[in-house]
Structure 1
Amino acid sequence: MSQTIASLMNREVTQVGPDDTLQAVEAKLVAKGLSWVPVVDASGVVMGVISSADLLRAHAEGKTAPKVSAWQLCTYKPVTVHPDATLAEVARLMTEGNIHHVVVAEGPNLKGVVSSLDFVRTFVV
C-alpha cells in the first residue's frame, strides 16, 4: 500500500457552493448518483463536505429545503490529504476518524476526492 492516493482519487469532482439550497444539493447528489459532495467557496477553497447523513439529519430536524444553505449543513474542515499521501496513510486516517470521505488537495487547490467505496473497488477484479 505504498501507492499514492492520487492513483485512487476521483479527479472529476462534483461540488456545491455555500449558498446552494438543501434542495439543490439533494438534486445534484441524485443526478450524479453520489452520497457526498464538497462545499467550495467562490475562490475554490473547500469549506466542508455534505453527506447523505447530513441531509437525513436536516430533514429529521425539520429543516426545509428553500431556507437551508449548504454552509449550514456541511461538516466544516473535512479531512484533507495531499495527493502524495499513501493509500495506507489515508486508510488509517479514515478508519481512526470513522469517516468515509476524504478531500485531496494541494494547499487550497482541490485535486480530487476519495470515499471508502473507492478503496473497496480496488479489490474488485
Structure 2
Amino acid sequence: MTTLVRDAMSTVVLTIGPAHTLRQAARLMSARRVGAAVVLDPDAGGVGILTERDILNAVGAGQDPDREPAHLHTTTDVVFAAPGWTLDDAARAMTHGGFRHLIVLDDREPVGVVSVRDIVRCWSSAREGAPVAAPAGAVAV
C-alpha cells in the first residue's frame, strides 16, 4: 500500500504574518514544537515558509531577532505538495530542492505541512508493520 502525503502530514499548521519578528516566530515555533511556520502575506503574493534554519542563519549572521521581520527571511519560491502525492513524490521534491518541509495545498489553501520527519516516521512504521497514524499530540510542521 502506498502512503500518501495526506496520511503523513501535520494538519495543525502554524501560520504567522510577514511583520512578525524572528523572535516572535521562534517563540511560537518552540511553543508548538514545530520546525517551520507558514507565512501568509497577501501583499507579496500569498504563501511562504519560515524555517528554524532561516532563523538560525539570521541570528548567526548577527541580525537582531527582535527587529528582523519574518518576511525578510521567508522562502516565497515554495514547492508545494498536494495531499494526493505519494511520500516518494514528496521526498523526491525535498531532495531536489534541498528542503525539509513542504506546505500541502488543496484548492490553493494550505491544509498541512509534511516534513522529512513525517516521511521517515511513516516509512519506519510501514517497515515494522505498525500503523502509520501520527503520534498523539503531534503538531504542525
Q: Which runs of 5+ in 2 are unaligned?
A: 131-141
Give the aligned partner of residue 86 of structure 1.
86
Partners of 2:75 and 2:111 in 1: CA distance: 19
**How many residues are paired up?**
124
Whether contact under 8 Å (1:48, 1:74) holds in the other structure is: yes
**SS of structure 2 residue aligned to 1:67:** coil
**Deviation digits for residues 63-96 of structure 1 (CA, Å, limit 9, x no counterpart):** 1123211111111122201111122211111122
Percent of pairs with identical residues: 28
Return the offset for 1:8.
1.0
Alignment of 1:40-51 (within 5 A): 40-41=40-41, 46-51=46-51
TM-score (ref. length: structure 1): 0.88
Runs of 4+ aligned structure 1 residues displaced above 4 Å come to: none
State the one-letter code of the partner of 2:97: G
Does the CA contact (< 8 Å) of 1:46 and 1:110 recur in 2? Answer: no
Q: Aligned pair in 2 of structure 1 residues 85, 46: CA closer, same or farther (>3 Å)?
A: farther
Conserved 8 A contact 1:2-1:88 = no
Alpha-carbon contact 1:47-1:77 (below 8 Å) kept:
no
Partner letter of residue 95 of structure 1? T
**Superposed CA RMSD:** 1.9
Alignment partner, residue 19 of structure 2: 19
Aligned amino acid, residue 68 of structure 1: E
Q: Which runs of 5+ in 1 are unaligned?
A: none
Task: Report the Cα distance in structure 2 between the residues aligned to 1:3 and 1:63, rounded to whole angstroms.
Answer: 41
Give the aligned partner of residue 113 of structure 1: 113
State the alpha-carbon separation in 1 of the partners of residues 71 and 87 from structure 2.
Answer: 30
Give the match for residue 97 of structure 2.
97
Is contact 1:17-1:42 (8 Å) kept?
Answer: no
Distance in 2 between the 1:92 and 1:51 partners? 19
TM-score, normalised to structure 2, is 0.78
